[in-house]
Amino acid sequence: MENIAKKFKILNACWAKKLEKTNEGKTKPKFILVFFNEDPLHLHPYEVNYMANLSPYLDSGDVEVFEYQVDELIAKCNGGRKKRQVVIDPSLLWTLPIPYYFDSTISSSMATTVRSAVSYIQTYSCVRWQEDPNHLISGRMRVRFVSGTGCNSMVGMMPYSSSSIEQIINLNNDQCNSLGTAIHEMTHCMGFQHEHQRYDRDSSIYIDTSNVNPNYLYAYSKVTSSDTTNYNMPYDFGSVMHYAPYGFCVDCSKPVMIAYDQFYQSTMGSNDFLTFVDILRLNSRYNCAALCPNPPACQNNGIVNPNNCAQCICPKGFGGTLCDQRASDNNPSCGGTTLLANYYWKTLTGTIDQTNNIGTPTSIPYHKCFWKIIAPTNKLIQIQIVSATNRCNSGCTIEALELKLFDMRKTGYKFCCQQYNSAYTGNVTASNLAIVHFYTQNNGVCADTNSNCASWAASGECNNNPSYMLPSCPVSCNQCKLATFSVQYRISNTDITCYDQNTNCAYWASIGECLNNPPYMLPFCAASCNVCLCMDLNSNCAYWAATNQCTHIFNHYCMRHHFQQHKCINQLDFGYRLGKIELTYMLDIITAS
C-alpha cells in the first residue's frame, strides 16, 4: 500500500505539469457562486474515500489499482509506450453472466441495494449479473461484494488465474448504501472510466488546477483515445460516472470543474441512475444489439431493447414502444402533456403535489413529470424560466427543473438554485423540440426526522437555520405540500421565415407605411419592413400589450427593430392562433440610443 502511495505522488507530479500545460492560453470560464441550502442525498464515492484517508491509494478517487498498473500510468503520463489495461482491451470484457456473491460483512440492506442495481442494469441492457453464493460458476473471475472502508472498484475484469479468481467491489454498509453509488462502482467493474476523464473532456469542462488539493491533481487525469472509446456519444454532464464539480477542492465554495456552458454546472454529479448515454455505451460495449437482428424503427434516438426486440429503450422524456410518445408521469398532480409553441409567449406551470406523502412511505421515491413542447418543422423554440425550485444542493439531487433543448440523448440543464434560476435568460433549441422534466424525491416520504422540529419551527428556525431545518423538518417547515415551476416558451423569432404577402409591400414600405400602418404592414409585409428578426427584450411584453401598456413611453423593453433613420418601433410578437392572425404592437416611436 505504501509503495502505491509513493508512486501516486510521482504520477501526481507528472499530471500537475500536464494539466498546467493544458490550461495554457485558456481563460477560466465564468461561473455563478451558489449557496447550497440543502445537503445531497448521499456522498460521492470520492468523498467517502477521502474522509477515510483512502485517496492516496486509489486512482481517480475511487478506482483500485495494482502497483504495476500505477507504473504503467506513470509511463504513459511521461510519454511511454506502455498501455494501461483499461476498457478498450477486449480481455477486460466480462463473459456474461457476471457471477457475484456477498461477503459476510455485507448487511442485508446493502445486499438489497446491490440487487436493485443489478435489476436496474439488466432492465436497460443485455449485461447479466448472476448471484452465485455457492460458486457454481467456475473457471473464470467472479465479483465479491465487501463492506470495507470506503467505496471503490477496479475498472474492467482482471485476468483470471489459479491464484486470482475474484475481484472486490467495496461498498461500506453505512457510507456507500445508495443505488447511485452501487451502480457507479459496478459500472467501473463492467469496464468504464469516469465521464470527466474522457480524452475529449477539455471542450466541455475546464479544470481549475489552482483550486485542487495539490496532492490529488492526478484525480483529474485523462484517459487517451487509444485506451478508451466514447462510441461517438456526447459528453454527458449528468452521467452516473461524472463526479460533482467540487472534488478535492481547496476553496470548496468554488468549483474545480467548470462547465463552458455554465448552465450545465448543476448537472454535474446529479445522477443516481444510468443516464441514456450511459445505457447507450453499456449496450455498445457488450454488443447487445446483436441479440436483435431485426430491430424496430426506434425514433428520437431510441435503441432496441435487447430484453424485448420489439420495443425500444428511449431517451429521458420519450416513451412508447418506438419512443415516439411523451414519457409518462408517475405523479398524477403535475399534468404533463404535449404542448404546441406559437409566435407569442405561452406559460407552462407544473406542480407536483406531495401532501399525500406526509409521514407515510410510498412506493414512488422519485416523482417525475414530463412536458413535450413542439414547434412546426424547421422552426426553433425559445424558452426561459419564470420561476423554479430553490432546494439548492450540489447536483440538484433532491428537486429540480431540467430543460433538454439540444442533443436529446444527453442530460439537460438542471435548475435548483436561485442564483442560476435568475441568471438564465433563455435559450433557443437546436430543433423544433424541447423536453421539460420536473422531479422531486424525498425517499418516498415527507416526514420530520426530529421530535423537536415543531418547536424549532415555531421559534423561527426554518428561516434562521434552513440548511438543517428544511431537509430535516420538512413537515414543520411546510416543505411537503407542493413543488412548482413556471417557464415561458414560443417559436423563436430568429427562425421566422421572412416574406411579404402582398406585391405592393416594398412600395408601401418606401413611403413609410411600416410606421404609419403597423397593424397591417408588420405581419403582412415583414420582409419589406425588416421586422422578422426583431426580438422583445422582456418576457412580460405580451402581458404589457394585453393590458394596454404599449403606449407607455417608458416601455422600451419591447423594442423590436432599429431603422436606418435611428428610429425604433416597439412591436410585439405576432402569431397564428386557431388560424387567425392576432397582432399586438407598440404605437409609440422612440428615439434609439
Please give the annotated binding residues for Zn(2+), written as ranges.
184, 188, 194
**In angstroms, rounded to a whole number, what is the distance separating the alpha carbons of residues 31 and 124?**
35
C-alpha closest to that of 263 among 489, 102, 31: 31
Please, where are the H alpha helices in 54-178?
67-77, 108-123
SS3 content of the chain, % helix, strand, coil (to 5): 30, 20, 50
C-alpha closest to that of 41 among 339, 383, 396, 315: 396
48 within 8 A of 151, measured Cβ to Cβ: yes
What residues are designated binding site?
184, 188, 194
Grid coordinates of 512: 413609410
Grid coordinates of 60: 481517480
Q: Which of 47, 185, 402, 461 is catalytic?
A: 185
Cβ-in-10-Å burial (0-12, 13-18, 19+) of 124 comes to buried
The overall longest dimension of the chain from CA atoms, in Å, is: 93
Buried/exposed code over 164-177 (b: 16+ C-beta within 10 A; e: otherwise): eeebbbbbbbebbb
At residue 2, the 3 state secondary structure works out as helix
Q: Is 64 a catalytic residue?
A: no
**In angstroms, rounded to a whole number, what is the distance separating the alpha carbons of residues 525 and 531?**
9
C-alpha closest to that of 568 among 546, 583, 553: 553
User: How distant is the alpha carbon of residue 377 from its chain centre?
Assistant: 27
Q: Which residues are known catalytic residues?
A: 185
